[in-house]
Structure 1
Amino acid sequence: MLRPHKAGAAVQKIVTLKEVTLITPTASMDATVHGGRAKCLQRLVCLEMPVPTTVAISFQAVHGIATGRMPNVSAILSHFGEAPLVSVRPSSQDPDWGGPGAILNIGMNDARFDAMCETMGEAAAAAVYMRFIQCYAEHVARLDPESFHMPDTPSGETLHAFLATYEAETDEEFPQDPQEQLAEVLRSMARTWEGTTARLLRQAKGAPADAGLGLVVQAMALGVGAGECGAGVVQFVDATTGAPSLIGRYQSQAQGRDALHDNKRAIYLTKDKRGAALEDICPDAFAELIRIGGLARKHLREEMQIEFTIQNGKLHILDGVRVQRSSRAVVRVAVDLANDGVIPREEAVMRVPPSALSEMLHRQVDPRASRDLIVRGIAASPGAATGRIVFSSNEAQASAARGEACILVRRETTPEDIRGMHAANGVLTMRGGVTSHAAVIGRGLGLPCVVGASDLEINAKKHAIITPDGRSFVEGDVITVDGTTGDILAGEPAMLEAALDEWFRTLLTWAEEFCDIGIRANADTPADAQTARNFDAQGIGLCRTEHMFFEGDRLGVMREMIFADDADDRREVLERLLPMQRSDFVELFKIMQGLPVCIRLFDPPLHEFLPSDKAGMRDLAEGLDLHLSEVMARVAALEEYNPMLGMRGVRLGISVPEIYDMQARAIFEATVVASRKGDPVAPEVMIPLVSAVREVELVKTRIDAVAAAVKAETGVDFSYRLGVMVETPRAALRAEDIAQHAAFMSFGTNDLTQMTYGLSRDDAGRFMSSYVRQGVYAEDPFHTLDVEGVGELLSIGAERGRKGNENIVLSICGEHGGSRAAIAFCRARGFDYVSCSPFRVPVARLSAAQLAISKPETI
């Protein structure tokens, strides 16, 4: 023996043994009390797997340890024989929440080393003892790990040096009593979990602040010694794709997860031309491992990663944890388990978080890639894109023409930027929030977008963006926009491609079976409609017709209309827009093949179609053959102090009725054409920004007159439905009167939230994070539907609308429509459907299906 033993053990305050449970098939064990690892080990024991003796310590007991109340350590060790040798591992409720690292070989001391030298040799015994000293010194005594670097060839001499170093660093001998060792390990792990750093880390992973930690104490299966000994890890699916695959490593004369970290000594599991394999050197243990893997999948109903040890040819199962997996693998594993009859389809649908589908729909930055963060903004449209910086729509279009990927960088986007957004691979703005123009259009296009990056500055003269740390990125530099996280990255990190595979589509088909609320898409162009159709949207819930006016030559015609002197001149110009609008609507109706298409009449103020800079005004003056002064005067005349609350929507339709007349005619003529070529079309015409019943009456009279004229001219009868977009608080309050003149009411939650809060959705991003952090608002109301305030208006509007018209169809079509909270709200209030961006349709359908399966009665 190396030196005299230190006598005595730690003095302990004893708590009830009910907090400490020997894991047996019949023991009372619960993941919410003892953690997921403890519960999984019990299930493995029930399956008669070769699991070493294990004791579980509850959340309550671990919390007590952190505050100085120790369990009866002697009673714990009594389960492990006269000379206990154990490990301790964390057991949090969710394995994703983490926990302190495992500590192995507790119980090793001088006497145990001497005994092990006789059975396995000095080098192996020294390795086991030194590993424990190394881990104890770092995690319990909090010593510098550099002082305890493991040598390539452990020996009695190097062990003696370890012990001497420990004594020199702590002024006391290394503890020899297993009870003292275990008590100190338990205390250290409990305090680590309760510490501030650990709490913040697990909260970042979604754990509640008061999440508990359990611990499991398990008899050591050493993995070193005579015969074939070692340790390994195995899983039966690929963590990235979810495809069946035997993946793992094994290392002889090793412990724990050494095989995953020592590529030089680790070997393959199955026979491999590249080198030795476990199947070659220990075929019986390998065959048993494969059998156990299949057993675990069937009875644990999950794809597991199994940690195992082989001791003199005998297999021991130390642990089983759920395989960490990508979003793509999450979907495939769930679908495969259901297809194999391991879990029902309902459970497969419930197992996939909606965010996983969102990630699969878009390219993502590879989580393994290095990230050179420039700045972080607001994640406004998911997915990632890399390209060269451009600062204008014209430059974006030029880049696209050259076949070069680009990122459009703007202080904020306007409707005039839509062409540039179509051409760009991603968008970055300094201003805006999750319902700003860039965010809404980005989501509709499936275009990665980060907004509200207010820490960036644009230097217009140098065509550069300046970062908070002083770095400068000029036009042409390559950056990456990560619209999933809000990160702006320098350079081009590795990407993962979108994965709309058969498992994705199978899951959506199953979700459709359980979904009990309609899911439509917001689609402004035929391309948007095709995307919506590809995702099996049940129609279009919002077509914003003004976006069509920015395509091709239409902007010029629109500007000519704005500069027309009187109604007759406006009608003459609008006659040139009519066939363009009609062709768009024909295409929309053909794509949707008889599904409902809800078309919102013109909404934005006219000034949005005019240039704001002098160069643009000069070009416009030249195009219209006007003096620059005339153009500047008209632009100034159309400016409003608060255009969001100015002459837009129905106000414009009443003041300049020729616009709505043209649009109504285009809709009805397209209805006639599309109905001749395919399924009957019944368009829905929606009046925006209503606040008074008289507005509806005036517009409805003109729309009905246009419909009658088209029927008379074509000799074709058709039906249509007229409804309103409820975006003002007054419209919600007066819904009973308005509903008497409407077939449907669609709540536009973007503007309704703005008006309810008195917040600009484009500017709120500047202070919203501070408000949420300080608890003023629970969440950003433009990101998550405010069910208390805005929700009350929705409830009032729905209730009063049904009083005015018992057959009224109710929906929401703002950007909240794809969120789980909004869908839950609409289901609870009996709404007929929600409408969201095309790329959010699959996410919304999955959320709705999960809500229907769980059947929550209230939100």
Structure 2
Amino acid sequence: MAVKRVYTFGNGEAEGKADMKNLLGGKGANLAEMNLIGVPVPPGFTITTDVCSEYNDLGRDKVLELLKSEIEESITKIEKLTQTNFGDKNNPLLVSVRSGARASMPGMMDTVLNLGLNEDSVAGIAKKSGNERFAWDSYRRFVQMYGDVVLGMKPVSKEEIDPFEKIMEDVKLEKGVDLDTDLDVNDLKELVVLFKEAVKEQTGQGFPESAWEQLWGAILAVFDSWNNDRAILYRRMEGIPDEWGTAVNVQAMVYGNMGDDSATGVAFTRDAGTGENMFNGEYLINAQGEDVVAGIRTPQQITKEGSIRWARLQDILEEDRVMMYPSLEEAMPEVFEELNAVQKKLEMHYKDMQDLEFTVQDKKLWLLQTRNGKRTGAAMVKIAMDLYREGIIDDKLALMRVEANKLDELLHPVFDMKAIGSANELAKGLPASPGAASGQIIFFADEANKYENTILVRIETSPEDLEGMLIAKGILTARGGMTSHAAVVARGMGKCCVSGAGALKIDYKERTLRIGSDIYREGDWISLNGSSGKVYAGQVKTRMPDLDGDFASIMDFASKYTRMSVRTNADTPKDAKVARGFGAEGIGLCRTEHMFFEGERIKTVREMILSSDEEGRRNALAKLLPYQKSDFEGILEAMQGFGVTIRLLDPPLHEFVPHTEAAQQEMAKEMGISLAEVKTKVSDLSEFNPMLGHRGCRLGNTYPEITEMQARAIVEAAIALKKRGVITKPEIMVPLIGTVEEFKMQSDIINKTAKTVFEETGDTIEYMVGTMIEIPRAALTADKVAEFAEFFSFGTNDLTQMTFGYSRDDANKFLPIYIEKGILKNDPFQVLDQTGVGQLVEMGTKKGRSAKPGLKVGICGEHGGEPSSVGFCNSVGMDYVSCSPYRVPIARVAAAQAHILSED
């Protein structure tokens, strides 16, 4: 049976459907689905994502051979439905060629519109439509898009605009007009000539006249765009696999630029920034789709309500709004009613907020795309809960609709309202993406790292600005509406954005921002309020947001459906309380060494290190005991009733001593010893590879008095709290074991010390002694270790380091290159390597429980807060994951989602 590579749709029929997203891409699958449910969609066909993989493997010529007959048959179907002929000069079929990956990648890949036009067919279109201006406007757009996308026309330098836009601006200046729509037929004809001359000059070849040559060039260019820089960066940012590839969608053109009865627009069934249940969007009369998203012309609002809000933001009077910026609801009421009905139908069908692209041609509505809309973290939570309350989805689906990592956006600071009241407001734009951001002005995306905190200021952004947008704290544009590239991408990133601030005058060459009579230069501080659209001078004070309402409801759903509990990594009572506020059920890692660096304690630690015998060390440790006991009391009390895993001293001693001569002199003075003695001790402690040297349980086994002091502090703290009625569950963890004998020696010291404290106090407490599995040998011999250990906690930071043989401190020198070249798909220190490190984790868990059924097992590496890694931990049967306090909500949702998926 022949492999099917092309799927057609049109006139209410389709060869594909919504659940074929992996094969047809999101756009292609939804175009097919809209046909099947009766939504008006221009006919066309989808080339599958598999063909993109074939193209990358087999090359251009082979793929053209494989596609030729199916493409020709599919074009014939479109011709029959539209009663036009592809390549005909009198009655030409014109098509659009668009990308469509299975996961939404807005603006990252390429599109070509009006394909099929040439010197002959433009006359045919003019005659058939009775609108010569429309025909030549479409032709100049096609030459511009094809030149950019297929022929590679690019600006000469970053200070220069697109070469086609430069020609356009020069012509408008010469003609004395401001807008593209003010150009007449002769102007547009002149533009086509100038555009073609620019193509010839820059590429050395003439513009292709054959419609079939144009089509094949555009299809292959879309496949090529899967591997352009911005698409690669976006995939890494969103965790989209490189091997998925993109589909290509070819559709009959419908025209929003045929006159005042035609329009194009983008709409959302709910507010993508706030989640409010309000149909909203933007459109332009006599325009094509790129005009709206590029932000070159000021867009108009779809609904009357939205138009009134927009006018207020722009300080436009009501009568001026109605005359100059009427909403679609006011300008084309019948079309609006149909669009409103369609958006309701699509949201109910997909049971989620939809992002729509539409065109109106001679007052007839056509849908070009629907997809689940990108939204901010706050909107994500509100939409999920609103759909649940409206009875459209149940609580499980509401929870599954939450993208765990995006919850991080809800934990970002917002501006303090008191500070806002006294801030100097500079300008006002559209609240494109909520949040608060302060930073130093930069004008070019590739300079986003120039300062620690930056605000990217642009006339309008383009997909090429993606990397800079990702790095910057906020984005400010002079042009563009709520559906512009800057707005849509910023919302997807959860990045604060103000768009369409018309008062801004930006000069890229001079690197200045003029607002009225004030001039701001690169490096000056400004602040953006993405929730109000306001721009302020300088830095504005922030505060932490309130987390209740819908956020709390989602967390309740997470608690209902999770199997694993979520703990936190916390070293102070403050961090422990923060994590408890986010729902952490205990501490999975308390690093005791962090306590040694505070205040006067470091002097006592250094005294212990410099001591030449056990007595000296014990004297110093006796001074540390009250500090440690007080710390443990605070942390155990903050987590009363929940387990607290306290790791004994882990890092090598050289980390506690000074390494510069000035600091060593100060230490010698404080200790009352000579500088030479300090230098000798520091030298003695130095190691060739300290992270594999004298640290962890090796310290406790060579200097058992250290373990004794820490064990005593823990037990005494728990007994003191017990007397105050506080329930504690201390879990003492031995780090870095490689052999069972290492663990047994430490365990014996801990148990002997606890027994001594019990005798001294006449009281007892329950405690556990376990170990951190972070050395491959410990995982391989986990059944032997589990005979003596009461719990395991996988320390996947070090386990990853030792399994790969990568130093966490030095891996940044090569890991980015490895990821770029495809040697690794992810940074293994951020996303758990399930194939290698994960195999050790799974083996260690199974072996441990084979020796001790019911053995408590958790993870305390940074992977404990990364959603895919949390899913893996659930699959191997861990009891809990532990992560930093501000990732606790992310881990809770990820754990619940993993359990729901495992049951389905």
Report the TM-score range of the alignment, normalised by the length of the smaller protein.
Answer: 0.7 to 0.9
Task: Report what 1:213 is aligned to.
Answer: 247
Query: Are positions 1:186 and 2:215 aligned together?
Result: yes
Task: Report what 2:654 is aligned to.
Answer: 607
CA distance in 2, matches of 1:350, 1:805: 35
Gaps of 5+ in 2: 56-61, 85-90, 154-162, 173-179, 309-317, 414-435, 455-472, 474-522, 527-536
1:674·1:681 contact (CA, 8 Å) conserved in 2? yes
CA distance in 2, matches of 1:728, 1:265: 59
CA distance in 2, matches of 1:597, 1:172: 71
Partner of residue 324 from structure 1, selected from 371, 374, 392: 374
Distance 1:758-1:303 versus aligned 2 partners, 3 A rule: closer
1:728·1:752 contact (CA, 8 Å) conserved in 2? yes
Cα deviation code 1:707-750 (max 9, x no counterpart): 23333333333211111223334433443333222211223233
Question: Percent identity, aligned pairs only?
Answer: 32
Amino acid at match of 1:71: E
Amino acid at match of 2:221: T
What is the number of residues matched between the two proteins? Answer: 730
Cα deviation code 1:804-855 (max 9, x no counterpart): 4334222232333334454344333333222232233333333323322222
1:259·1:266 contact (CA, 8 Å) conserved in 2? no
Distance 1:122-1:573 versus aligned 2 partners, 3 A rule: closer
Task: Report what 2:858 is aligned to.
Answer: 811
Bigger shift: residues 555-564 or 60-69: 60-69
Query: Are positions 1:625 and 2:672 aligned together?
Result: yes
Q: Report the TM-score when normalising by structure 1.
A: 0.74
Query: Are positions 1:40 and 2:74 aligned together?
Result: no
1:66·1:194 contact (CA, 8 Å) conserved in 2? no
Q: Secondary structure at 1:708's aligned position in 2?
A: helix
Cα deviation code 1:472-504 (max 9, x no counterpart): xxxxx9999xxxxxxxxxx99999997674444
Amino acid at match of 2:219: A
Q: CA RMSD in A?
A: 4.2
Task: Report what 1:440 is aligned to.
Answer: none
Amino acid at match of 2:222: W
Partner of residue 54 from structure 1, selected from 30, 40, 43: 43
Task: Report what 2:258 is aligned to.
Answer: 224
Q: 1:587: how far off?
A: 1.0
Task: Report what 1:22 is aligned to.
Answer: 10
Partner of residue 585 from structure 1, selected from 632, 647, 653: 632
Task: Report what 1:837 is aligned to.
Answer: 884
Query: Are positions 1:235 and 2:285 aligned together?
Result: no
Query: Are positions 1:354 and 2:356 aligned together?
Result: no
Query: Are positions 1:291 and 2:341 aligned together?
Result: yes
Q: 1:623: how far off?
A: 1.3
2:568·2:888 contact (CA, 8 Å) conserved in 1? yes
Structure-to-structure mapping, 1:131-150, within 5 angstroms: 131=141, 145=164
Distance 1:343-1:657 versus aligned 2 partners, 3 A rule: same
Amino acid at match of 1:81: Q
CA distance in 2, matches of 1:766, 1:254: 48
Structure-to-structure mapping, 1:775-814, within 5 angstroms: 779-814=826-861
1:140·1:184 contact (CA, 8 Å) conserved in 2? no
Amino acid at match of 2:345: L
Q: 1:275: how far off?
A: 0.6
Structure-to-structure mapping, 1:187-202, within 5 angstroms: 187-195=216-224, 198=227, 201-202=230-231
Query: Are positions 1:280 and 2:269 aligned together?
Result: no
Task: Report what 1:100 is aligned to.
Answer: 110
Cα deviation code 1:154-210 (max 9, x no counterpart): 54544655676689888999999xxx64x3442232121233775554343235346
Distance 1:294-1:267 versus aligned 2 partners, 3 A rule: closer
Partner of residue 113 from structure 1, selected from 126, 151, 164: 126
1:590·1:678 contact (CA, 8 Å) conserved in 2? no
Q: 1:664: how far off?
A: 1.6
CA distance in 1, matches of 2:380, 2:541: 18
Q: 1:583: how far off?
A: 1.4
Distance 1:135-1:603 versus aligned 2 partners, 3 A rule: closer
Task: Report what 1:531 is aligned to.
Answer: 578
Distance 1:374-1:175 versus aligned 2 partners, 3 A rule: closer
Partner of residue 79 from structure 1, selected from 78, 81, 85: 81
Cα deviation code 1:760-795 (max 9, x no counterpart): 332333334455556666654434434444444434
CA distance in 2, matches of 1:265, 1:845: 41
CA distance in 1, matches of 2:275, 2:127: 47
Structure-to-structure mapping, 1:565-584, within 5 angstroms: 565-584=612-631
CA distance in 1, matches of 2:752, 2:12: 80
Higher gyration radius (CA):
1
Q: 1:528: how far off?
A: 2.2
Q: Secondary structure at 1:35's aligned position in 2?
A: helix
2:6·2:46 contact (CA, 8 Å) conserved in 1? no
1:690·1:731 contact (CA, 8 Å) conserved in 2? yes
1:16·1:71 contact (CA, 8 Å) conserved in 2? no
Partner of residue 253 from structure 1, selected from 271, 276, 286: 286
CA distance in 2, matches of 1:557, 1:329: 51
Distance 1:347-1:775 versus aligned 2 partners, 3 A rule: same
Distance 1:116-1:701 versus aligned 2 partners, 3 A rule: closer
Partner of residue 594 from structure 1, selected from 630, 641, 649: 641
Q: 1:588: how far off?
A: 0.8
Cα deviation code 1:374-431 (max 9, x no counterpart): 7989xxxxxx9649xxxxxxxxxxxxxxxxxxxxxxxxxxxxxxxxxxxxxx9xxxxx
Task: Report what 1:640 is aligned to.
Answer: 687
CA distance in 2, matches of 1:813, 1:570: 30
Q: Report the TM-score when normalising by structure 2.
A: 0.71
CA distance in 1, matches of 2:660, 2:894: 44
Structure-to-structure mapping, 1:415-564, within 5 angstroms: 501-502=547-548, 503-564=550-611
Distance 1:201-1:770 versus aligned 2 partners, 3 A rule: closer
Q: 1:123: how far off?
A: 4.7
2:857·2:879 contact (CA, 8 Å) conserved in 1? yes
Q: 1:544: how far off?
A: 1.2
2:27·2:370 contact (CA, 8 Å) conserved in 1? yes
Q: 1:625: how far off?
A: 1.9
Q: Secondary structure at 2:392's aligned position in 1?
A: coil
Distance 1:84-1:17 versus aligned 2 partners, 3 A rule: farther
Cα deviation code 1:130-164 (max 9, x no counterpart): 55566567667888746676865454544655676
Q: Secondary structure at 1:275's aligned position in 2?
A: helix
Distance 1:85-1:493 versus aligned 2 partners, 3 A rule: farther
Query: Are positions 1:686 and 2:727 aligned together?
Result: no
CA distance in 1, matches of 2:557, 2:581: 16
Cα deviation code 1:654-682 (max 9, x no counterpart): 33222222222211121122233344212
Distance 1:129-1:753 versus aligned 2 partners, 3 A rule: closer
Cα deviation code 1:552-586 (max 9, x no counterpart): 21112222233345434433333332222111111
Distance 1:518-1:492 versus aligned 2 partners, 3 A rule: farther
Distance 1:315-1:739 versus aligned 2 partners, 3 A rule: closer
Amino acid at match of 1:519: V
Amino acid at match of 1:93: A
Query: Are positions 1:340 and 2:328 aligned together?
Result: no
CA distance in 1, matches of 2:147, 2:800: 57
CA distance in 1, matches of 2:24, 2:250: 9
Amino acid at match of 2:265: G
Gaps of 5+ in 1: 1-14, 378-383, 388-425, 427-476, 481-490
Bigger shift: residues 607-616 or 302-311: 302-311
Amino acid at match of 1:41: L
